[in-house]
DNA sequence: GTGGTCTAGACCACG
DNA sequence: GTGGTCTAGACCACC
C-alpha cells in the first residue's frame, strides 16, 4: 500500500492521509471489506503520530468510507455505499465550479468546451 | 460595498475577505482601476484589525488581483488579467474534478448529465 | 548560533534575520536538514516578537531556503537547491553590475582589474 | 527626457527618480552643466508630489551628481566628478558581490567565468 | 510541543 | 493621508 505524505505541505497530515486512503479505495487497491492496517502499525510505517492516524480513521468513518470494529479494527465499507458518497462529492464540487463559471459570464457551451479540452 | 465576514467560521478572516473581494471584482461591483478602501478604513468598517486587512491585500497583490500604488493605496488590476487568472482557476479545478470523475468510471456523457442537472 | 540584529538599523528586523540565517547556511554553520529553532524559541532568544520570526521563516520558505515540517518545525532545504538559488542570486547581481560598468565605458579588462584589486 | 516611474513598485518614488536621472546622466542624455527641470515642473510632468522631487534633488546633491543654485535651479555636475562617483559605486557593489561569491566557495577563476558568460 | 491567526496599539517612511 | 513594521499577549488546530 503506497501512501505518500508531504510533511512540508500546508494540508494537515490527517487530511492528506484521508485523501490517500480514499484514492486507494477508488483505484481499487483497497477493496470492499478489506481491513485497514491498525492505527499504530500505519502510524509507525508513515512515521507519524498514532493520534493522527486515529483522527483520519474517525473522519473516514464519519464520511462513511470505513467501519470500525473494536475487535478487528477498521474495514472498508462495501463498494456501493462508497460510490454513492464519491458521486455526491463530485456533485457538490461541481455546484461550486458552476457558480464560479457563471460569475465569469460563461454559458453552458463554454463550459462544455473547457471540459472537452481536458477530458 | 457589502462584505460579510463570518467570525465563527473555521476559514481565516483574511481568506474570507480575499474571497469576498474577488467575488465583488468578478460580479463587477468593483471595477478595474477602482481604488480599494485603505487598509485601516476597511479594517475599521469590518471591525477587524488592520494587520488582517493588510494580509489580505498582500495576498491579492501576489495573486495579481490588485496593485498597491504608493500614492493612493490599492487599486484593482486591469480586468483582462483578472479574468485570465480566474479562468485558469476554473480550469485547474476542472482538472481535479475530471480525474475524480474518471476514477469513478464516469464517461464524458455521464459528466455532461451531472452538469445539466445543475446548471 | 550567533545572530546579530541591529535594532537601530533602517533594515526591517525580519529582513536582517533572513540575511543572518542565509549567511549561516552559506557558511555551513547550519547544515542541510538541520532544524531551525522554533519560531517562539528564536523570538525569545533574540528578544523580538514571534510574529517577526514567523515572517522571516515564511520569507525563507518562499525563497526555497527552508521547509516547514508540520511535525517538528522548520528545517533547511537540501543544500543543492540552496547553492543553486544563491548562484542565481550572484548571477543577477552581476548582470546589473555589468550593465553599470558598460555604461561607464569600461571594457572587460578594466573590470577584471577592479576585481583583482579587491579579491 | 523619458523618465519612467512604477507607482506599484516597492521602491520609493524618490529613489526610482534618482536612479532614472542618474541613468540619463550616464547615458549622456543629460550632459554636464545641463539644467534639470524645476521641482514643480518635473513633479507635474510625472504626476507626483513636488516634495518627492525635492527629496530626489536633495539626494542627488548629497551624492554629488548635481549642484543646486537657488536662482537658476539644479544643474548637473561636470562629468569628471560624476564618473568618479559612479566608479566608486561599482566598486562597493563589487565588494559585496565578492564576499557573496567567496562564501559560496567560488575562486577568482569561477568568478571570471561567470563574467565571461555575461559580458 | 509546533506554527497560524488575530487583536490593539504603537512608530515610521513615504507622498 | 497611505502602507509597512513591530510588540505583547491571546486563542486555535495540529501532532
Res C26: pLDDT: 87
Residue A113 to residue A108: CA distance in whole angstroms: 9
Residue with CA nearest C1' of nucleotide E9? B49
Question: Which one, of A40, A51, C104, A52, lies nearest residue A20 by Cα?
Answer: A52
A78, pLDDT greater than 90: no
Res B79: pLDDT: 66
Which chain C residues have a beta carbon less than 8 Å from that of D83?
104
A118, pLDDT greater than 90: yes
Stated in angstroms, how far is C28 CA from F9 C1'? 36
Residue D32 to residue D25: CA distance in whole angstroms: 8
What number is the average pLDDT over the span C29-52?
A: 92
**Distance (Å) from the alpha carbon of C103 to chain D's nearest alpha carbon:** 6
pLDDT tens, position by position, C63-102? 999 999 988 899 998 767 888 888 998 999 999 999 999 9
Residue of chain D minimizing CA distance to B75: D8
Identify the residues numbered 77 to 116 in chain B whose C-beta atom is closer than 7 Å to any atom of strand F.
none
Res A3: pLDDT: 94
CB A67 within 8 A of CB A61: yes
Query: In chain C, what percentage of residues exceed pLDDT 70?
Result: 99
Question: Which one, of C81, A92, D85, D7, lies nearest residue B33 by Cα?
Answer: D7
Query: In chain B, what percentage of residues exceed pLDDT 70?
Result: 99
A28, pLDDT greater than 90: no
Residue B98 to residue B94: CA distance in whole angstroms: 6
Question: Which one, of A9, A14, A29, A94, lies nearest residue A61 by Cα?
Answer: A14
Phi, psi of A10 (to 5 degrees): -80, -15
Residue with CA nearest C1' of nucleotide F2? B73
Question: Which one, of D4, D9, D73, lies nearest residue D45 by Cα?
Answer: D4
pTM for this prediction: 0.89
Count Cβ–Cβ pairs < 8 Å, chain B vs chain D: 13
From the CB of residue A30, how many other CB atoms can be counted at a distance below 10 Å? Answer: 20
Stated in angstroms, how far is C43 CA from E6 C1'? 18
Stated in angstroms, how far is C3 CA from E9 C1'? 29
Residue of chain A minimizing CA distance to C73: A8
CB C85 within 8 A of CB C64: yes
Task: Decide which of D30 and B32 is more confident.
Answer: D30
Phi, psi of A38 (to 5 degrees): -65, 155
Which chain A residues have a beta carbon less than 8 Å from that of C69?
7-8
Measured from the CB, is C75 under 7 Å from any atom of strand F? no
CB B101 within 8 A of CB B113: no
Lowest model confidence (mean pLDDT) among A13-22, B53-62, B99-108, C36-45 = B99-108
Mean pLDDT rounded to a whole number for chain B: 91
Written as nine digits, the cell of B54 is: 493588510
Note whether C108 contacts D119, CB cutoff 8 Å.
yes
Mean pLDDT rounded to a whole number for chain A: 91
Smallest Cβ distance to D98: which of C106, C108, C118? C118
Q: List, in sequence order, every residue forming a beta bridge with D2; answer none if it has no partner.
A: none
Question: Which one, of A63, A62, A60, lies nearest residue A42 by Cα?
Answer: A60
From the CB of residue D9, how many other CB atoms can be counted at a distance below 10 Å? Answer: 14
Residue A92: CA count within 13 A, CB half-sphere? 5
Sequence-distant (≥ 6) Cβ neighbours of residue C2 within 8 angstroms: none
Residue D79 to residue C113: CA distance in whole angstroms: 23
Alpha helices in chain A (DSSP H): 13-26, 39-46, 50-63, 79-103, 108-118
Question: Which one, of C47, C49, C56, lies nearest residue C14 by Cα?
Answer: C56
Residue of chain A minimizing CA distance to C72: A7
Tell me, what DSSP letter sits at residue A4?
-
CA distances from B3 to A45, A74, B26, B36 (A): 46, 45, 14, 13
DSSP string, B25-50: HHTTSS-TTPBPPPHHHHHHHHTS-H
pLDDT tens, position by position, D29-77? 888 878 899 999 999 999 999 999 999 999 999 999 999 888 888 889 8
* Subunits adjacent to chain A (3 or more Cβ pairs under 8 Å): B, C
Res C68: pLDDT: 92
Sequence-distant (≥ 6) Cβ neighbours of residue B100 within 8 angstroms: A26, A86, A89, A90, A93
CB A112 within 8 A of CB B112: yes
Stated in angstroms, how far is D96 CA from F11 C1'? 44
Note whether A49 contacts C69, CB cutoff 8 Å.
no
Amino acid at each position: 500500500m503506497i501512501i505518500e505524505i508531504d510533511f512540508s505541505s500546508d494540508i494537515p497530515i490527517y487530511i492528506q492521509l484521508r485523501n490517500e486512503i480514499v484514492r486507494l479505495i477508488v483505484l481499487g487497491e483497497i477493496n470492499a471489506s478489506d481491513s485497514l492496517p491498525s492505527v499504530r502499525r500505519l502510524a509507525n510505517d508513515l512515521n507519524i503520530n498514532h493520534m493522527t492516524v486515529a483522527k483520519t480513521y474517525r473522519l473516514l468513518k464519519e464520511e462513511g468510507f470505513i467501519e470500525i470494529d473494536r475487535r478487528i479494527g477498521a474495514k472498508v465499507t462495501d463498494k456501493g455505499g462508497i460510490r454513492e458518497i464519491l458521486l455526491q462529492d463530485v456533485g457538490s464540487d461541481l455546484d461550486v465550479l458552476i457558480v464560479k463559471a457563471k460569475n465569469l459570464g460563461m454559458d453552458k457551451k463554454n463550459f462544455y468546451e473547457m471540459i472537452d479540452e481536458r477530458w
